[in-house]
Structure 1
Amino acid sequence: MAIGERDPITGRHTTGHEWNGIEELDNRVPRAVIFFLIVTTLFSIVYWVLMPAWPLGVTYTKGLLGIDQRATVEKAVQEAAARRAAWTDEIARLDFAEITKRPELMRIVRESGSTLFGDNCAACHGTDAKGNPGFPSLADDAWLWGGDPETVAETLRIGINSTHPETRFAQMPAFGRDGILDRTAISSIVSFIRNNAQGIDDLGPLDSKGVKEGAQLFAENCAACHGEDGRGDPAMGAPDLMDDSWLIGSDRASLIGTVSQGRQGHMPHWEDRLTETDRKILAIYVTEIAGGRAGAAR
């Protein structure tokens, strides 16, 4: 069928194109499509005139409306900073006790503290602040260096075994690796600890002789840091060994490994990464997670 001939079924002209016996009718483009194309073309032209659109080397056409997204974002940031300054200045000015007495400030502390904790602390201490093996729980009120907001804020500032020149420093000797104590002595110390610590129900093989010898060995080798009663010393970052909170584990194998190989934890200092106000918010937030009971000894 040639161009211009009519299709015998529809009576419409054809274009002359054919695919496997199927011929193309010379139908007009629907008016709705033409209308859509006209409208979108006009819209494009108007947009090009009104809005920043065309690159011109190192610059671009600014558009008649003069809209600048960078300026819009900068303005939004400045407005947010102004709104934030209204309460950050208050938190920076007041001491910890005064802040905790102000419900409107504590609402901000909880909201901002949750974000700060999630962004900076949760990777080690867990999203629920209950810690991970080797990283202490912040929700059980058992603190290495003290749990009042002022002390926590200072720990945040300088870190533990960090690169800060004022860092808190603590290290447990490797009694077995360095030949200070033999395997039998270490086992006796572990028996003494497990026999006296809270929350250890399954003591396993434990003889009275080992516990008695362990008490003497503990007094000679461990009490200087952990205290004669094993309750720890926050001035040295030495943990309480008689409670039911453990960094690594309270089973015999874990404790023998700790005493034999020693421990040296690490917490980065945040003075260079968080503002003083942010650290203040975090300190209050963390101590509130622990129940607000200040001054615990671990």
Structure 2
Amino acid sequence: MTKNVTENKPVKGKNIDETTGVETTGHSWDGITELNNPLPRWWLWTLYACIVWAVGYTIFYPAWPMISGATSGTLGWSTRGAVAQDIADHEAKNAQLVADLVAADLPTLAPGDPLHRYAVARGGAVFRANCSQCHGSGAAGALGYPNLLDDDWLWGGDVASIAMTIDHGIRNDTDPDARWSQMPAFGDILSKPEIASLVTYVISLSATVEDRAQAAEGAVLFSENCAACHSDDATGNRDMGAPNLTDAIWLYGGDTASLTQTITQARFGVMPAWGQRLSDVDVDAVAVYVHSLGGGEQAPE
């Protein structure tokens, strides 16, 4: 607060504003002096209470950063410890369900069964944390990453086959039981015109092509070079991870340019062996979750 002052009365070394009777700070600007009003008592007591609370907090709880950590506080409490305890409590509540899921025969789990519902819920959480980065949050896949919603499977779509794929991965060098297949780079085997004919034939398996003569030439090349893996009718071979070429579902694209690149250079997609990172129950849960997305198949008889 400021006040025009003509005279200030000195009282025992203090400058007192004669109009308000309040001590001034002694500062003056063009005859205007600043009053030194005391802070309200409620504000001071609040400040003192905050100081006391802060001192108590630093004694009982983690507070001051140090070189390699922080003061732990006499109570030994930490947010990490609280989260760990919550996780432990959650796991304890679900311990029986976890044990049952590990021991269960996955193909026999029926939708609607409490254990199946638990597996889907747990598997969905694990999928979103570990698998969605490649397959998408909705599991619809992307270029080079399979769509897990449809019924087109490279290695089998029953729950046991899905679990094995998740557990051991595909074409990785960390798990000796990984799914493994390797397509030759036909650019080192066939000429460009031959590859063009082969591309035309592959496209003709699921769409209409204009150059039927070229497609016929490609059919001969397919029989000589590709049928061993993709089968004579081009419907694929799950034992080898060879895709069905007749269904117009393409992992790397089904247009002329994409197929030319695939045949010329080959593809070599790699999936981690999640069994080395996830627990057995999490692998089983993810398998049940993926199987439940809509494209899951019945176990082969």
CA distance in 2, matches of 1:159, 1:282: 13
The 3 A distance-change label for structure 1 pair 263 and 72 is closer
The 3 A distance-change label for structure 1 pair 91 and 28 is same
CA distance in 2, matches of 1:133, 1:11: 82
Please state whether the residue corresponding to 1:247 is helix, strand or coil: coil
CA distance in 2, matches of 1:227, 1:109: 36
TM-score by length of 1: 0.84
Cα distance, 1:229 vs structure 2: 0.5
Please tell me whether residue 287 in structure 1 is matched to residue 291 in structure 2.
yes
Q: Is the 8 A contact 1:7 1:13 kept in 2?
A: yes
CA distance in 2, matches of 1:149, 1:12: 85
CA distance in 2, matches of 1:61, 1:248: 53
Counterpart mapping for 1:1-298 below 5 A:
3=10, 4-7=14-17, 9-44=19-54, 51-52=60-61, 63=74, 66=75, 68-69=77-78, 72-163=82-173, 164-176=175-187, 178=188, 180-197=189-206, 200=207, 203=209, 206-294=210-298
Q: Is the 8 A contact 1:189 1:218 kept in 2?
A: yes
The 3 A distance-change label for structure 1 pair 122 and 174 is same
Cα distance, 1:12 vs structure 2: 3.3
CA distance in 2, matches of 1:284, 1:98: 11
Cα distance, 1:295 vs structure 2: 6.2
Q: How big is each residue's C-alpha offset from its partner over 1:90-129, in whole Å with a ceiling of 9 and x where there is no partner?
A: 1111111332355322222222122111121111112221
The number of residue pairs the alignment matches comes to 285
Q: Is the 8 A contact 1:96 1:284 kept in 2?
A: yes
Deviates more, 1:3-12 or 1:182-191: 3-12
CA distance in 1, matches of 2:128, 2:278: 14
CA distance in 2, matches of 1:207, 1:74: 65
Q: How big is each residue's C-alpha offset from its partner over 1:198-244, in whole Å with a ceiling of 9 and x where there is no partner?
A: xx46x4xx322112111111111111000000000000000000002
Amino acid at match of 1:239: P
CA distance in 2, matches of 1:231, 1:35: 82
Question: Can you give the 5+ residue segments of structure 1 that lack an aligned partner in the other structure?
Answer: none
Q: Is the 8 A contact 2:62 2:77 kept in 1?
A: no
The 3 A distance-change label for structure 1 pair 90 and 53 is closer
CA distance in 1, matches of 2:63, 2:248: 68
Amino acid at match of 1:255: L
2:4 aligns with: none
Using the aligned pairs only, state the percent identity.
Answer: 37
Q: How big is each residue's C-alpha offset from its partner over 1:68-97, in whole Å with a ceiling of 9 and x where there is no partner?
A: 447655543432221131211111111113
Cα distance, 1:20 vs structure 2: 4.6
